[in-house]
Amino acid sequence: MIQEISSKRKFDSGTGWPSFTDALPGAVKFREDVSHGMRRTEITCSKCGGHLGHIFNDGPGPTGKRYCINSCILDFKENER
């Protein structure tokens, strides 16, 4: 089952990557990533373990988080009103 997250959680971080303030509960897992000489938190799919991106502590309120997601894993859909 594919889970959807509202674009209300998306924001322009100025990085060029799709960025969100949080994730759906249970949709992702976190693990320490020390590759490339950096210390980051990797975001992976809780079902398949696939790499989704990284999370950083420089996002807007109220979470202060920036979920920086690789755009190739996203499937954007137009809002149906």
Distance CA 21, CA 44 (A): 16
Here the tokens at position 14 are 């100025």
Tell me if residue 45 is catalytic: no
- Residue 14 has φ and ψ, to the nearest 5°, of 80, 5
**Residues paired with 29 in a beta bridge:** 44
What residues are annotated to the active site?
Answer: 68
